[in-house]
Chain A
Amino acid sequence: DAKTTQPPSMDCAEGRAANLPCNHSTISGNEYVYWYRQIHSQGPQYIIHGLKNNETNEMASLIITEDRKSSTLILPHATLRDTAVYYCIVRVDNAGNMLTFGGGTRLMVKP
């Protein structure tokens, strides 16, 4: 599986867009990019995933660069409840060894 690199922490003002970057320069052609978040003391929550096209759902948008070596998770209007650790994970989309969570980015949304 491709290794991912994320900044350890970021701040964002409430109401502004939060842009969380992830580098995955060794990603292979059949690997998807997944994003999860973990709010303090809770189980992780699936946010979004994509292969090569940009994706959007009710929670967030995922922008993947054309060379697929990096991606950005966008929370369009961050709220205090979005304060969490955000994990970027790259996996081939088949049954295998399940997910591997790294250190993630601790996003602090401030009023």
Chain B
Amino acid sequence: AQSVTQLDSQVPVFEEAPVELRCNYSSSVSVYLFWYVQYPNQGLQLLLKYLSGSTLVKGINGFEAEFNKSQTSFHLRKPSVHISDTAEYFCAVTTGYSTLTFGKGTMLLVSP
């Protein structure tokens, strides 16, 4: 079985500062990795995904993530955040098909 650990429950940051949201996973087989964002009172929106190929993945809204197999990590980064990036971010993993295992989420709080 796979598992996901998001190391920070909350990350406060000032507007225009860079941010990194950390995600580590555990699995005995190859995995596919995802980052989702959830705005208040909304469902989840896919930011980016790693299926294979280049370990640096670019997503929507200026986000990117790097898959590191040796460290079993898939950290999410953005060089300059906006107030509108305030939301909860979820890392998810699957070994195949549609069953996703999610982390507990990281609340990104952007202040002016």
Q: Do A and B bind each other?
A: no
